[in-house]
Structures are given as structure tokens and as C-alpha cells.
Chains A and B, each alone.
Chain A
Amino acid sequence: MERKKKTKRKTIYLILAGLAAVIVLTVFGWRMYTRMLGGRDWNLEEEPETYERYYVLITDDSSSVMWQDIYESAKETAKENGAYLETLGEWPGEEYSVADYIRIATAEKADGIIVKPDGSVAVRSAIEEAEQAGIPVITVLEDDTDSSRRSFVGVNSYQLGNTYGEQILRCVTPETSRVMVLLNRKDAGKDLVFKQLRSDTQEGLGGMEVEITSMTLDSGSPFDAEEAIRDLFHDSQARPDVLVCMNETDSECAYFAMVDYNQVGTVQIIGYYQSELMLNAVEKGIIPVVISIDTDQVGRYAVEALEEFYQMGHVSSYYSVGLNVVTKENVQEFLPKQDAEDTE
């Protein structure tokens, strides 16, 4: 009888413990559940922060590291000034040109457009339309002085040519006989840069016999530039001693071609833009120097120009941006912090 009572009491305790477990399980599970849902990006923001103005950054290659850096900096600056900035470009399923994107931004009634013009008439007229609709346009990296853009943020071609010239001179050795400069058809100020570069280099060379030539890459179809650069390395007659690149993609193409054709040390590449790949190459001594525009300044100045326009009603027509020259000596400053720690 006593034993029976004991087992009965035990069963009752077990039931109570079970009920407690259910409650705990429910409460704990529920908390975990809500926390799990809360911790995730639902994209269902009830009240996202609002901004006064809306700026558009139109790029021709939004996947490039340089543009991403510019976008980050511009977005940050815009946010500080109560504006929302978005990149516009490469919409899925459509082959829109820069001019189309400017028109889209105009139709969207954006409060400001930041664009890198390609010097075409279409872009110029699109900028015209935007300005007519009362939308200020800021050009970056490349200028289109014939358009009615409000301001330009970038390096002037003269300065850029100078810097390139200096670096070419550093790479020139007594064996150097040929310097090749890769130009892009889309780049508006390419001729000016080349002109300045060549005169500076020739001046610095003194009496040395060095052939300075340019090659204009026509990126009419997507992969033309890459093929042309490979051809340079493939043909030993055409192969230059110093190869000067003027954009990020060309630099990377040249780098991979040089490595693939086993020309490291034979061909000196002057790269453009401090992407991680380029910086690593400089660190290892594969590439002697990388010239890079200060993208942080580009983004910031562009947004500041727009802000200035809205505050003052006018804006200065040129913002000069600094250039970074990355060599093996100072590459550590540009390498991402994490990388620097790893190499230690």
C-alpha cells in the first residue's frame, strides 16, 4: 500500500515535471524563434529612416572595386548630409547606356546625378535634359566640359599625365626600348593624358632612344580589350618593356597575361587602381607601381558638390582629387588592415 502510494506520488511528480518541461520548452522555443526571426534581415522594415534628397550614381562598371569604393564613400557622405544615394546601372535584362541611365534618373525625379561621362553626344544631351529638368549633374573621373554639368570631381589630365610620366621614368632602364600606353576609347581625356605623359617622359629620358606608343582599346564588344592585351604578350615583336594601364580592368588583364606568358621581370606594368590584386602584386614585386585615384575623395567631393549646390545655389566647377602612387615601399599603408596583420 505504502509502495503503491509512493509510485503514485512519483508519477504525479513526473507529470508535474513534464508540464514544467512543456512550459519551459514553449517559452524557450518561442524566445529562440522570435530571436531567430528578429536577427534576420526581413526586408520588411516598417519605418525605414527617411531622407531629404535622393542622389543617383551612374557607373559604367558597378562591379569594379574602384566604383564600389567610390559608391561607399559617396553613400556615407550623402547619409551624413541627409540624402540617400543609390547606384544606377546594369539593370537586369536591359542593355542601357549611360545616357539611358541619366534619362531614367531624370524621369525618376532624382535630386542629383553623379556620372562618369564617356564624351558621347548622347550622354551630353542626356545631361542637358537632366539640367533642364532642374537636376544638377556632377561628372566624376572624366569631364565633359561641353555639357552643362555643374561640377567635375577628379584628376585633371595634365596632372595624371605628369604622374604617369614620373613613374615611367622610374621603370625605364638602359635596356628599355618600348613603352606602351593602353588607352580606352570611352575615356574622354585619354589623349590629353597621353600627350602630357609622352612629353614628360621624353623630357626626362634626355637622349635615350625609347619608343613611346599608345594603343586604344575599343571595348565595343565586352572582351575585346582582354584579347588585345593578350596579343601584346603573345607577339614578342609587339611586346613592350613598360606597359602603362589607365583603368582597373586593363591592369588586371595585363597582370594575368604577364604571369601567364611568364614575363614577370621582363615587362614592367604600371597599374591603375589599388585593388587588392594590384596591391598584392606590388607587395610581391611583380608590378613596380600602381597609380590610383583617391576614390574616397571622389565620392565625398561629388556628394559635397551636390550639397553645396542645394545650399548655395551654385557650385565650383572643379574639385581636384589626389592621386596615390603605390610602390613596394608604401604598399603596407594601402593594404587592408587584416592583410597587414596576416603578413606579420
Chain B
Amino acid sequence: MKKKKMLSWYQGLSIQTKLLMTFALTAVLMFVINIILYSEINRSMIQLDEVYATNVSLNELAECLEHTHEEVYEYLNTKSTVSLENYYRNVQELKDMLEQLNDRNTGSQMKMQEKNIRGMSETYLEIADQTVQAKRGRNAERYNDYYNEASRTYKYVQSAIYRLNDIQFRSNSNNYQIMLESLQYLEIISSAIVIVVAVINLMILVLLTRSITEPLRLLARSANEVAAGNFEWNLPETESRDEVGIVTHAFVKMVRSIREYIQKTKESLEKERQMKERELLMETHLKDAQLKYLQAQINPHFLFNSLNAGAQLALMEDAEKTSIFIEKMADFFRYNVRKTEETATLEEELEAVDSYVYILNVRFAGEIHYEKEVYPGLENLRMPSMILQPLVENAVNHGIRGVEREGHIWLTAEPQGETVHIQIRDNGEGMTKERLEAVREGQVRHGGGQGDSTGIGLDNVISRLELFFGEKDLFQITSPGPDQGTSVDLWIPLKKEAKGI
């Protein structure tokens, strides 16, 4: 928990603070180590100083002793009060110094020598005192003897001091050697420590700077990738809230919106493409229907002009029925030629069916009983042309033509919800389930290719319907069974009627 808090706190810092912290941390580490090492070396130095300090005091002692002896000589020589004063002062000084020397018997050679020097100096002072007293008493012979003795003892003391100095020097040389070794040792140890600390520092630096530069690096890489057009690149993630963190978040946000925008554009392009495709398909189907029709009819214009001429001829000869027949024929073909490229109204479609049934009834002597029932107001319903006639043609050719009984075809059109339901039903041959299935799957082509057909197949009708309205399931063909008739149902969407071509 605490660690997380710390991490969060660290991530919230600015780059400058982070860098400063990094350098401060490493500097403090180095500083502490150096302080420790230097204090240790300093301690050794002080120790070394102390070792030599003893020599200094010995030299002072020797000097003081020398002054004292000089003053004794001076006094004996001149009996001056000044030298006597100096003598006493020196004696006091010497005594003070001697106080600091060891006066016990110990196992240390140096301490013993100190004690000996102290003892000898004291002996010297006694003799010197006797010398001075003898001089005062003007006992020339005695003070001479005393002075000689004092001089001898003085020499001994100086020798002893010299010797102690010598011993100390040797010992100190030894100590110095040890000190030197220890310093060298310390040097090695401290070098090792400094190296290790430096390595640690380096690692900390690497770690900290990486935490700063890594997001930047990732960001740069992502930016490069995005710039190269690779929007699918994994976007950098960062938890830090410093400047790089802010830039990274902004960048990620930007790339995400770009991605969304691209996605939307793609989708709309796709839709457009689909629409175009549908248009093309529709056109293809229409062209197909037209071609088939033209193949069958060669030149419909010539045909229905000729038919018109025939109708007028029939009128002139008072053959009214023939005239009507030929006129219907002409109407039917005109509709065919005119309407195949456009949309038609329900009314126009129904007229085409009427003409067709009339023609057939003339051909087959009124065998087809055709009834239609259209809900009023649906006349202007727009739909693709040449839809109902092929279906009626199918009902005739595959339904009622082959049956003995009276053939009926019923056509109804009524609104049903948001659609107009158109049903074409016959009482003809009907279909087995298998055949029905085959028809539904488009394996059996109705209409197309037969000599007695207008040439537009069921699949063509279905395709055009679906393309026109952009919906599926607008068409259904059912049959209760063989010899029980067939029913074809269309559902023309009311709202989408205008969507067509």
C-alpha cells in the first residue's frame, strides 16, 4: 500500500524534479561514503600525529635541561643574579616537565626509559643545587667537584634522552609503517567501496533515467509508426503524470479519435460501395431481361406498329374482336418495351396483366378465368416494372395449363401493415414439396427459355424486387400439394417504394 503510494507520488513528479532527485540521491550517497572514508583517514592521521608528539616534548625537555646547565655554568662563572634567576626558573620548568614523565617501574622499555630520565634529571637537579649552594658558600673546591659531577650527570641525561628518542624513533618508524600499511589497506577498501557505490549509483541513474526516457522512447516509436500510417500499433501506456505522461496521454487520445474517424469513414464508404454494387446488379438484371425479351421479339416496335395496322384493318373489316385482340397485343408489347427500364405503378402492371390474360384467352378460347381484387387507392403504388405479368405467366404455364378442370387465377392487392400484399393464386397443378423447395432455391428456372414465354424468369423477378427495395423476404411461393394450386405472395414496402431506381 505504502509502496503504491510512493510509486504514485513519484509518478506525479515533473521530469526536472525527477532528474534533480536522481542526481541528489547519487550525490548524497557518494558524499556520505566519502565523509566516512575521510573521517577514518583523518583519525589515522591524528593517531600518527600523537605518535610523533612524544618526540616533541622530549626535545623540549632536552632543551630545558641544556639551558639549566648553561645557567649553572654561567652562575659559577659570573655569579650573576640574572643567571641565578634564570637557573631557578629553568629548574621549575624542568620540574614541571619531569612531572609529566613516568615514574613507575613498568614493562614498557620506553616508559622505563622515561622513568630513568626522570630519575637521572632529579639526581642532576640535586647535584646542580648542591653546586649552586657551594658556590654561594664560596667553597671553590667543592663547587668545582659538584660541577664536574653535575656535568657528568648532565651528559648522562642527554645521552638517555637521545637514547629514548632513538627508541621512540624506531618504535614510531614501526608505528608509521603500520600506519602506512593501514592507510594503504584503507585505500584499497575505500576504493572497493567507492567502486561498488559508483556502480550502484550508475544503476540507480539508469533505473531512474530509464523511467523518464522509456515513455518518451515508446512515444517516439508509436509516433513514428502512426506517422507511417500504422494505426494498429500498440499505443504506449504510462502511469507517470509528468510532462511526457501528459504528452503520451494526449497522443493516445488523438490516435484513438483518428482511429474512430477512420472507422466511420470506412463504414460509410462501404455502404456507398454496396449501394453502387446493388445499382449495378439491378442494371445487369434489367439488361438481362431486356436482352431476353429482345431476343424473343426481335423488333417489338415494328411488331406493335404492325399490330396497330392490323387492328385498324380489322376495324375496317368490322372484325371488332380481332381489332380488340390486336390492340391488346400492341398495348402489351408497348408496355413491355417502354416499361422495362423504368418503374411502374401498380395500375400499369395490372393493365399489362389484363392485356396478357386477354391475349391468352383469345389463344386458348377463354380457358383462363382471371379475377382481380385491388384495394382502392393502391393504383399509384410504385414498383419495378414487369413483375406481375411474369408471375401470372408462370401461373398459366405451370399451373392451370396442364389441368382438365376450369383454370382460375386470382390476383389480390391489399395493404398489410407497412406493406402492400399482392397475391397471385391459381388452382392448377400445384407442386410437391421437393419441387417447391427446388423452386425456392432457384434450381428450377421458371419461364426463361421456353418458346411460349415472355422470357422473364422467376429469379429475375425476385432479384429485381429485392434490389429495388433493398430488402429480403419480399417474395414467397407456396403450394398445399400436387394438384392443389400454387400461390405467389409479394410484399411491396410502402415507405421504400421510392427507393428504387
Contact = CB atoms under 8 A, between A and B. Distances in A.
Interface stretch (A25-33, A177-185, A194-202): A25-33
B193 A25 contact: yes
Contacts of B237: 1
Contacts of B120: 104, 107-109
A4 B189 CA distance: 35
B501 interface: no
A4 B153 contact: no
Contacts of B123: 106-109
Contact of B196 (A25, A50, A84): A25
B175 A44 contact: yes
Given A37-B178, A37-B182, A43-B174, A108 B107 contact: no
Interface string B112-135: 100110011011100000000000
A49 B159 contact: no
Nearest to B162: A93
Nearest to A104: B156
Contact of B174 (A33, A36, A41, A86): A41
Interface string B79-106: 0000000000000000000000000111
A12 B211 CA distance: 13
The 10 closest A-B pairs by CB, nearest first: A29-B189, A51-B105, A18-B200, A109-B119, A43-B171, A108-B116, A48-B108, A107-B120, A107-B123, A48-B106
21 contacts: A8-B210, A11-B207, A14-B203, A15-B204, A25-B189, A25-B193, A25-B196, A32-B185, A33-B182, A33-B189, A36-B181, A40-B178, A48-B106, A49-B107, A50-B107, A51-B107, A84-B112, A92-B162, A93-B159, A96-B159, A104-B159
Contacts of A51: 105-107
Interface of A: 1, 4, 8, 11-12, 14-15, 18-19, 21-22, 25-26, 29, 32-33, 36-37, 40-45, 48-54, 83-84, 86, 91-94, 96, 100, 103-104, 106-110
Nearest to A92: B166
Given A18-B199, A25-B196, 4 more contacts: A11-B206, A33-B189, A92-B166, A104-B120
B163 interface: yes
A38 to B, nearest CB: 11
Interface of B: 33, 36, 51, 104-112, 115-116, 119-120, 122-124, 152-153, 156-157, 159-160, 162-163, 166, 171-172, 174-175, 178, 181-182, 185-186, 189, 192-193, 196-197, 199-200, 203-204, 206-207, 210, 214, 237
Contacts of B185: 32-33, 36
A43 B175 contact: yes
Nearest to A34: B182
Contacts of A52: 105
Looking at B36, B193, B206, which has the most chain A CB atoms within 10 Å of its CB? Answer: B193
A18 to B, nearest CB: 4
A94 B124 contact: no
Given A29-B189, A29-B193, A8 B207 contact: yes
B471 to A, nearest CB: 49
A312 B109 CA distance: 29
Contacts of A50: 104-107
Contacts of B203: 11, 14-15, 18
B462 to A, nearest CB: 55
Nearest to A52: B105
A91 B163 contact: yes
Contacts of A92: 162-163, 166
Contacts of A32: 185, 189
Contacts of B193: 22, 25-26, 29
Contact of A84 (B106, B119, B152, B206): B106
Contacts of A11: 203, 206-207
Nearest to B105: A51
Given A36-B185, A93-B159, A103-B156, A53 B197 contact: no
Given A33-B186, A51-B105, A108 B119 contact: yes
Contacts of B163: 91-92
A107 B105 contact: no
Contacts of B186: 33
Contacts of A1: 237
A100 B199 CA distance: 67
A125 to B, nearest CB: 13
B313 to A, nearest CB: 93
A153 B192 CA distance: 62
B107 A15 contact: no
Contact of B107 (A21, A33, A41, A84): A84
B316 to A, nearest CB: 97
Nearest to B152: A103
A276 B234 CA distance: 92
A84 B160 contact: no
Nearest to B199: A18
A1 B171 CA distance: 66
Contacts of A100: 156
Contact of B112 (A33, A86, A103, A106): A86
B394 to A, nearest CB: 67
B208 to A, nearest CB: 10
Nearest to B126: A107
A53 B112 CA distance: 11
A100 B120 CA distance: 13
Contacts of B124: 107
Contact of A15 (B33, B115, B207): B207
B207 A21 contact: no
A42 B175 contact: yes
B169 to A, nearest CB: 10
A42 B175 CA distance: 6
Contacts of A93: 159, 162
Contact of A91 (B153, B159, B192): B159
Contacts of A22: 33, 193, 196-197, 200
